[in-house]
Amino acid sequence: MNVMAFGSVTDVMGESIQLEHIQDTDTLMLELNKRFPALKNSKFLVAVNKKMINKNTRLNGNDTVALMSPFSGG
């Protein structure tokens, strides 16, 4: 799967990484926190295949996950 970072999240993990064998977003967060410990202190939103999520979501190998800094309308 492709994990893309936007906003301040890129300061921690770069623009994107490829991961395999990740079953769900909870497992993904554990793996990302292990690889990038500074993520634990970051606030960000998560989208899977361009849909914002707020609970554990099943993933498969061709999914795209985006990690984005919080934003507000204006």
**Mean pLDDT (10-residue bins), the chain, 74 residues:** 96 95 97 96 95 97 95 66
Handedness of CA 46, 48, 54, 57 (dihedral sign): negative
Which residue, chain included where needed, has tokens 């204006």?
Answer: 74
Q: Which tokens go with 42?
A: 């970051």
Q: How many domains does the chain have?
A: 1
Query: For residue 39, what are the CA distances in angstroms to 32, 61, 65, 74?
Result: 7, 22, 15, 27
Q: Is residue 13 part of a domain?
A: yes
Whole-structure pTM value = 0.91
Q: Is residue 19 part of a domain?
A: yes
Upper half-sphere CA count for residue 6 (Cβ side, 13 Å):
11
Q: Residue 53 belongs to a domain with what CATH number?
A: 3.10.20.30
Please give the pLDDT value at position 30: 97
Q: Which domain holds residue 42?
A: 2-68
Q: Is residue 17 part of a domain?
A: yes
